[in-house]
Amino acid sequence: MKALLVLSLISLAAPAAAQVKMLGNTPDVQDPLAPPPLPDPIAESAPLRLSLMQTSQAQEGDEKYQPEVGQAGKDVIWVPTPDSLVKAMLTVAEVKPTDYVVDLGSGDGKIAIAAARDFGARSLGVEYNPDMVALARRNAQRAGVSGKASFINGDIFETDFTDASVVTMYLLPSLNLKLRDTLLKMKPGTRILSHAFTMGEWEPERTISTDDATGYFWIVPAQVAGRWAFEVGNERFAAEIGQQFQKLSVARGGPLKDGHVKGSTIHLVRANGQELVGELRGNQIVGSGWVATRIRSAG
């Protein structure tokens, strides 16, 4: 099973390879109408250095380290997420300048860099391979966002990222599951994005498909399981609410029929069909014309 998943990561390597090449900034296609390049004396003695310098994008260190798609990583190999999916995922999460985006296993830094460059967010990449961290920092400098996108050399399972408002990852199903409890304890409304892999029974709010890849989007739900006292207009009733991730369950024949949670917004449907939409504020859910007060939490 694991071999299959690793293969699926590797199968994405082909389009990604082109992106890695772009990071070296050597143009893939020559313009047939362009004049032949002038001979340059440095070219003979230092071809690699010249190819980087030609772009005026070279950073010191580029010549020492070139990553290879599929190279080993601590818990998962490195394969970059295609640009189109990076953009689509950050767009679906509605990343904005007030966000703090953390990419877990940040590789060459492309997700954190895109969040800063294209969406104005502050961002952090956590990456175990120090050479990749150095590369990501050079890439951030090239993109002009080194003040906004930072990178740390660390293990995602030993790094506190719980102050993030958006978390992104391209790991493995088993690693997503290992992170799930931590993610679910984050602030309600935190947005989670994963390239390729799901979170077990925690169903995504959305599946994001591009031509060459798929991503998933979740919103951390507030915890509302327990017993609540409702005041809806002049009516008073109590209800027991169960919860599995974003889905709320209520006993049949009771005052509530259905419900779900999106961040700290609670949607409930009464047995009479009336919809109740409110915000969780401390121990109350406050809606327009109704309020529910927590009698006790579940478990």
Ligand X SMILES: C[S@@+](CC[C@H](N)C(=O)[O-])C[C@H]1O[C@@H](n2cnc3c(N)ncnc32)[C@H](O)[C@@H]1O
What residues pair up with 81 in beta bridges, in sequence order?
none
* Pick 188 or 215: Cβ nearer ligand X: 215
* Nearer to ligand X (CB atom), residue 75 or residue 205: 75
Of the residues 20, 88, 126, 145, which one makes contact with ligand X according to CB under 6 A: 126
Distances (CA, A) of 267 to 36, 84, 103, 205: 65, 33, 30, 15
Cα distances (Å, whole numbers) of residue 118 to 13, 31, 111, 142, 222: 24, 28, 10, 14, 29
Cα–Cα distance list, 229 to 50, 197, 262, 286, 287 (Å): 72, 39, 21, 12, 14
Write phi, then psi, for 217 (nearest 5 degrees): -130, 130
Q: Which is nearer to ligand X, 161 or 230 (CB)?
A: 161
Contact call for residues 231 and 105 (beta carbons, < 8 A): no
Which of 151, 170, 197, 218 touches ligand X (CB under 6 A)?
Answer: 170
Q: Which of 99, 102, 110, 115 binds ligand X (CB under 6 A)?
A: 110
User: In the window 193-222, what residues touch ligand X (CB under 6 A)?
Assistant: 195
C-alpha distances (whole Å) from 245 to each of 104, 218, 258, 267 are: 22, 10, 14, 14
Minimum distance between the CB of residue 195 and ligand X, rounded to whole angstroms?
A: 6
Is 155 among the residues that bind ligand X (CB under 6 A)?
yes
Distance CA 286, CA 220 (A): 19
- Closer of 77 and 286 to ligand X (Cβ): 77
**What single-letter amino acid sits at 27?**
P
Note whether 151 binds ligand X by CB under 6 A: no
Shortest distance in whole angstroms from residue 175 CB to ligand X: 8
Gap between the terminal Cα atoms of the chain: 35
Nearer to ligand X, 75 or 279 (CB): 75
With CB under 6 A as the contact rule, the residue among 105, 188, 215, 287 that binds ligand X is 105
129 binds ligand X (CB under 6 A): yes
Of the candidate residues 73, 189, 254, 255, the single one contacting ligand X (CB under 6 A): 73
Rounded least distance, CB 185 to ligand X, Å: 19
**Residue 106 in contact with ligand X, rule: CB under 6 A:** yes
Q: 116 phi and psi, to 5 degrees?
A: -75, -45
Interacting residue with ligand X among 23, 78, 138, 264 (CB under 6 A): 78
> What is the greatest pairwise CA distance in the chain?
88
Rounded distance between C-alpha atoms, residue 107 and residue 87, angstroms: 17
Q: Does 127 bind ligand X (CB under 6 A)?
A: yes
Total number of residues that touch ligand X (CB under 6 A): 25
In the complex, the residues that contact ligand X under the rule CB under 6 A are 9, 73-76, 78-81, 103, 105-107, 110-111, 126-129, 132, 155-157, 170, 195
